[in-house]
Amino acid sequence: MLNPKVLSKGVLSTACLARSSISVPLFTLNSLMCIIEEHMCIQNLQSIDRIQSFTSTGYSLREGMSSMASGSTSLKLFKNKYLHFTLPTNFRDEDAARRKLQDFSQPQHSILRSSFLGRSQTLSHSVFYPWLLHSHQYSSYNNGKELSDLASKVLNGLPKFVKIVEVGPRDGLQNEKDIVPTNVKIELIRRLIASGLPVIEATSFVSPKWVPQLADAKDVMEAIREIKGVSLPVLTPNLKGFEAAVANGAKEISVFASSSESFSKSNINCSINDSLARYREVTLAAEKHSIPVRGGPRWEVALRMSVFLEESTL
Ligand SMILES: CC(C)(COP(=O)([O-])OP(=O)([O-])OC[C@H]1O[C@@H](n2cnc3c(N)ncnc32)[C@H](O)[C@@H]1OP(=O)([O-])[O-])[C@@H](O)C(=O)NCCC(=O)NCCSC(=O)C[C@@](C)(O)CC(=O)[O-]
């Protein structure tokens, strides 16, 4: 670690081209930090805009090591011992800079204020104070431009409308080993309707050999087909299922294309392309009956066949 004494002019002047940095020991947080914050005007420095207030006067720097975004100012913990500042200053006279920086370790606040108010140019200067330190480690982090851009990207990208579809009676039950009695399924749907949910996927019209739990799809639909004011779609993976669903009062269906071949094969016993051909038939038939269709690629990553999906597949 560089010791201030050995900082040669050369090092200092070279460093001057890059960025100013001061490492100072952290003694008790309240005293030093409030000096730094108050007299370094650190909260006003462009790229350091996220230092939590630790006490009314000081501030804490989060544990660990972090370095700030580049820009004209940065702040980082150095070897867990020193607070490393890069500050915008435009000292012409390096000795004056060193003196001022040396003063940094003395509790003479006023010097600090004049020394470090933001200036346009950046002076590079590394001064290390090998003071004894309490066993604290601090770092600060900067949520600068990157994070504010990210936040606005996320917020601007949010949809204006979100439709919540409750799939418990279908997806929640389909893999249950013990067959749930039909009346219990119906009661579950009724309670979900009573809870105010606008869309509840009621059952599936699929092969009972594949999904024995939902072999009573017809009976369930019989019991709920007259219910108004709520959408009760059913899953129909092929035309056979669609026809059975419509015959039993279904007014909305859903289809599910897989985004991985393995899931498609194990789930509906066909390739993705074949499934799309099936869904083409189903949607054409639905169009004829003016029945709305809900569908989309299904995220197997969360399912037991977790696969890493190529974006192109999606
Ligand atoms: C799609 C099939 C039928 C193809 O199954 P298959 O064996 O390829 O088709 P098949 O044409 O050879 O038919 C086999 C037997 O099923 C009958 N069959 C054929 N179609 C139907 C039907 N619609 N309804 C009732 N019976 C049907 C057909 O009549 C025949 O009867 P058999 O001659 O052997 O007596 C089968 O693979 C199947 O039913 N798979 C179950 C699909 C399923 O429900 N998976 C779980 C839902 S998807 C899921 O959970 C993921 C998801 C959607 O939740 C993810 C998310 O939510 O994001």
Cα–Cα distances in angstroms (integers) from residue 244 to residues 235, 247, 251, 295, in the given order: 11, 5, 12, 18
Instruction: Return the top range by mean pLDDT from 1-5, 61-65, 122-126.
Output: 1-5
pLDDT value of position 161? 87
Q: 3-state SS of the chain: helix, strand, coil percent to 5?
A: 40, 15, 45
* 3-state SS assignment for residue 296: strand
Task: Kindly report which listed range (4-13, 218-227, 288-297) carries the lowest average pLDDT score.
Answer: 4-13
Q: Please give the mean pLDDT across all residues of the chain.
A: 65
pLDDT value of position 143? 56
Tallying the residues shown for the chain, one arrives at: 314
| CB of 171 shorter than 6 A to ligand 1 | yes
pLDDT value of position 142? 52
Question: Is 123:98 a contact under the CB 8 Å cutoff?
Answer: no
Question: Is 291:246 a contact under the CB 8 Å cutoff?
Answer: yes
pLDDT value of position 152? 84
Q: How does residue 32 score in pLDDT terms, banded at 50, 70 and 90?
A: very low
- The alpha carbon of 253 and the centre of ligand 1 are apart by a number of angstroms equal to 15
pLDDT value of position 298? 57
pLDDT value of position 144? 75
- The alpha carbon of 304 and the centre of ligand 1 are apart by a number of angstroms equal to 19
pLDDT value of position 74? 36
pLDDT value of position 157? 84
Question: Is 41:145 a contact under the CB 8 Å cutoff?
Answer: no
Backbone angles phi, psi at 302, to 5 degrees: -85, -10
Closest Cα to atom 7, ligand 1: which residue? 269
Locate 181 and state its tokens.
């009695």
Nearest to 22 by CA among 135, 116, 143, 110: 116
* Interval 202-245: pLDDT, tens: 999 999 999 999 999 999 999 999 999 999 999 999 999 999 99
Instruction: Tell me the chain's radius of gyration from C-alpha atoms.
Output: 33
Q: How does residue 96 score in pLDDT terms, banded at 50, 70 and 90?
A: low
- The alpha carbon of 210 and the centre of ligand 1 are apart by a number of angstroms equal to 6
pLDDT value of position 258? 87
Nearest to 118 by CA among 43, 222, 45, 197: 45
Closest Cα to atom 6, ligand 1: which residue? 269
d(CA 59, CA 57): 7
Q: How does residue 119 score in pLDDT terms, banded at 50, 70 and 90?
A: very low
Q: Please determine, for residue 85, whether its predicted confidence score (pLDDT) is greater than 60.
A: no
Residue range 276-285: mean pLDDT, rounded: 96
Residue range 127-151: mean pLDDT, rounded: 54
Q: Please determine, for residue 16, whether its predicted confidence score (pLDDT) is greater than 90.
A: no
Q: Please determine, for residue 132, whether its predicted confidence score (pLDDT) is greater than 50.
A: no
Atom of ligand 1 nearest to the CA of 256: 53
% pLDDT > 70, the chain: 48
d(CA 133, CA 277): 71
% pLDDT > 90, the chain: 39
ipTM: 0.96
Q: Please determine, for residue 29, whether its predicted confidence score (pLDDT) is greater than 60.
A: no
Of residues 217 and 10, the one with the higher pLDDT is: 217
Pocket-testing residue among 199, 207, 236, 309, ligand 1, by greatest number of atoms within 8 A of Cβ: 207
Cβ burial, residue 64 (10 Å; 0-12/13-18/19+): exposed
- The alpha carbon of 272 and the centre of ligand 1 are apart by a number of angstroms equal to 14
